[in-house]
């Protein structure tokens, strides 16, 4: 069963606008959430994370929001830039967990 | 470059052959992870090491798969009697014990089984 779901396979956004990527999870034991970015022919690169004790974490143009009651998190990129075009993976782990559980990814295209 | 490195980057083999991949983690990282990624999916956990000890293996890791980290530094992942279903990107990641959630990934080894 897929414990982390990214229901939008792709998203296209105009440069300068906001990109919103969504992620849903089913395992209530998850306590830490991360977003990774992946360019072709490279491994995933850590972008931003959030602990379950918070509902928002911000780092420059990137903000992650967590809604525990809805088991939903989102990544906001403002303003979007062409260099942000990549595959974005949502991932989660449990307390003292040793592995990350990933979603299937969302392809973001930022048009200039 | 002090990131995670993997070798080879690409491997094409015939069904039934054995293959071995190598991963060199970030030098001070004591945890090392292997993941597999197939087309259209996110990475799936295979196994992880803390120093030289292999502490967890996924059900995805069949008997044909074996991983080692003999000196607690680099790791190898061997697949015996490869099958076409083994075709995937094999990703290695490493982390510090206290920052186990923040895993740093290598570029991956793309395996194609003909």
Q: What is the pLDDT of residues A50-105, one digit of tens each?
A: 999 999 999 999 999 999 999 999 999 999 999 999 999 999 998 777 789 999 99
Lookup result for tokens 């990549």: A86
The residue-averaged pLDDT of A1-28 equals 95
* The pLDDT of residue B94: 95
Which positions in chain A touch B44 (Cβ < 8 Å)? 102
* The pLDDT of residue A1: 67
pLDDT tens, position by position, B68-114: 999 889 999 999 999 999 999 999 999 988 777 789 999 999 999 99
Asked if residue B90 lies in contact with residue B77, where contact means CB atoms within 8 angstroms, the answer is yes
Q: How far apart are CA B48 and CA B104, in angstroms?
A: 13
Beta bridge partners of A101: A92
List of residues 6+ apart from A53 with CB closer than 8 A: none
* The pLDDT of residue B74: 96
> Closest Cα partner for A73 from A94, A103, A100?
A103
* The pLDDT of residue B100: 74
- The answer to whether the Cβ–Cβ distance between B43 and A46 falls below 8 Å is no
Which positions in chain A touch B103 (Cβ < 8 Å)? 46, 100
Phi, psi for A82 (deg, rounded to 5): -55, -35
- The whole-chain average pLDDT of chain B stands at 94
Torsion of CA A27, A28, A34, A35, to 10 degrees: 60
- The answer to whether the Cβ–Cβ distance between B42 and A105 falls below 8 Å is yes
CA atoms within 13 A on the CB side of A30: 27
* The pLDDT of residue B10: 97
* The pLDDT of residue B15: 97
* The pLDDT of residue B1: 55
pLDDT bucket at A41, cuts 50 / 70 / 90: confident
pLDDT tens, position by position, B20-68: 999 999 998 999 999 999 999 999 999 999 999 999 899 888 899 999 9
* The pLDDT of residue A30: 93
Q: How far apart are CA A38 and CA A16, in angstroms?
A: 21
3-class DSSP state for residue A82? helix
And the tokens for B89? 């990107």
């Amino acid at each position: 069963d897929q414990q982390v779901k990214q229901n939008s396979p792709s998203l296209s956004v105009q440069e300068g606008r906001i990109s919103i990527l969504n992620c849903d999870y089913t395992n209530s034991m998850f306590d830490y959430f991360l977003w990774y970015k992946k360019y072709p022919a490279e491994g995933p690169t850590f972008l931003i994370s959030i602990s379950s004790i918070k509902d928002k974490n911000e780092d420059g143009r990137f903000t992650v929001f967590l809604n525990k009651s809805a088991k939903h998190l989102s990544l906001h990129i403002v303003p979007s830039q062409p260099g942000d075009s990549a595959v974005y993976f949502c991932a989660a782990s449990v307390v003292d967990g040793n592995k990350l559980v990933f979603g299937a990814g969302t392809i973001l295209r930022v048009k200039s | 470059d002090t990131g995670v490195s993997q070798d080879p980057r690409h491997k094409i083999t015939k069904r039934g052959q054995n293959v071995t991949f190598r991963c060199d983690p970030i030098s001070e990282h004591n945890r090392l992870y292997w993941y597999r990624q197939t087309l259209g999916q996110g990475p799936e956990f295979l196994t992880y090491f803390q120093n030289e000890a292999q502490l967890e293996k996924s059900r995805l890791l069949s008997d044909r798969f074996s991983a080692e980290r003999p000196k607690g530094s680099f790791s190898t992942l061997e697949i015996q009697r490869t099958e076409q279903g083994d075709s995937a990107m094999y990703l290695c990641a490493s982390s510090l014990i206290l920052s186990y959630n923040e895993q740093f990934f290598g570029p991956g080894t793309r395996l194609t089984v003909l």
